[in-house]
Amino acid sequence: MNKKNLWQMLKYAIFSVSAGVIQTVSFILLYNVIFQEKTALYDLSYIVSLVLSILWNFTLNRKYTFQAVVNVPVAMLKVAAFYLVFTPVSTWLGQIAVDAGWNGNLVQILTMFANFVLEFAYFKFVVFKGKDEKTQK
């Protein structure tokens, strides 16, 4: 692995951690404080916190990690396509886990890890593939 790819992965991880903090804090506030751990409202808490995280993560990674010179609406549509699959599947599986007695906070952490890995691959190989400033020049 070359230095550029390693640095790109590190930047992605740092920005994803910041998005994870946003997702975690908003999820905790919604699920634990506002909805007081009502299992029926796990999915709403998850979706709202996920959307906040997506917007933050996309913005930072487009500009700083992938330095993408792309049509932002098109790139955002590609990200939306990813989440059209990821969100219902992860929400459904998360709700099943919570209904089965799993701790909602643990389910959230496991889902965030899966999102971290899958989203990086999707950003790198689909959304921003070959679109960094250095390949445009």
* Residue 119 in this model has a pLDDT that exceeds 60: yes
Tens-place pLDDT, residues 48-102: 998 999 999 999 988 888 887 778 899 999 999 999 999 899 989 998 999 999 9
Q: How buried is residue 45: exposed, middle or buried, by Cβ count under 10 Å (0-12/13-18/19+)?
A: buried
Average pLDDT over every residue of 18-33: 92
Give the pTM.
Answer: 0.74
Q: Give me the residue spans of the domains in the chain.
A: 3-136
**How does residue 15 score in pLDDT terms, banded at 50, 70 and 90?**
very high
Looking at residue 56, what is its pLDDT?
94
Percentages (nearest 5) of helix, strand, coil residues in the chain = 85, 0, 15
* Residue 134 in this model has a pLDDT that exceeds 80: no
Report how far residue 14's alpha carbon sits from residue 17's, in angstroms, rounded to the nearest whole number: 5
* Residue 131 in this model has a pLDDT that exceeds 80: no
